[in-house]
Structure 1
Amino acid sequence: MKDFSAEITYKTSRSSGAGGQNVNKVETAVTAIWNVMESAVFRFDEKLRISEKLKNRINSEGLLQMTASESRTQVQNKKIVTEKMLDLVEKALFVPKKRLATKPSKGQIQKRIDNKKKLSEKKENRKFRF
């Protein structure tokens, strides 16, 4: 995993929720902002993959923004939002293996046919005869 945390800029704002008077006075919510295309850490193809996978989270200026306000301290929220962003980008870079089409083995085919025959015979024996 590549660490691009040095390229992230942070903004603070007042957080909502629990905290009493502290919430009204201290800016504890932290927003992390990262410009995907201007990153020096990733290659061009990686930047395109990130942009494609996270297109719903990247704004028109090409900035990936995330906010954290879970904690009551600014330092903790900064740590949380940085970890979230690093994790999100790592998941966006993951390339799944291509599935190789396979045929069922002869044994599997024979087993399926045998099961079908048994079921057919069972139903045939249920018929009422005179």
Structure 2
Amino acid sequence: MLKSRYLRRLIAFSMILVTIPVVSLGSLSYFKSRGIIQEKVNEGNAQVLIQTQLNVEQLLQTIDNSMIQFINSSLLNQSIQLYSEKLMNQRRWKELDYSESGQHPVIRNPSRQQPDRIPRSGCSLS
């Protein structure tokens, strides 16, 4: 009986002596590797962000260059010139229609609510 009691204490003490270093070494390894892995993940995320930023900047530069090329193209300039000539011709036709129809053209004055009528003759409005 004394021998079995001594054996139990010896096994329990041995287990405690073995368990404490294993648990402390495992905990130390866990926290150290967790810190290293977190650093690597942060570095990877930073590299992904930098790569994405460079891709977006390159895309914006490409768009900017394309817009400059489009704006400077002769086809666009010709189209704008033709469109402005068309608008000028339309205005001339409207002015001609006003003079032939006998109506007075209306000029909108933004500071007043009522439009001003331009008289056909040289007399002024009072």
Q: Give the number of the structure with larger relative contact order, counting CA–CA contacts within 8 Å between residues 6 or more apart.
A: 1
TM score, norm. by length of structure 2: 0.32
TM score, norm. by length of structure 1: 0.31
Bigger share in helix: 2
Bigger share in strand: 1
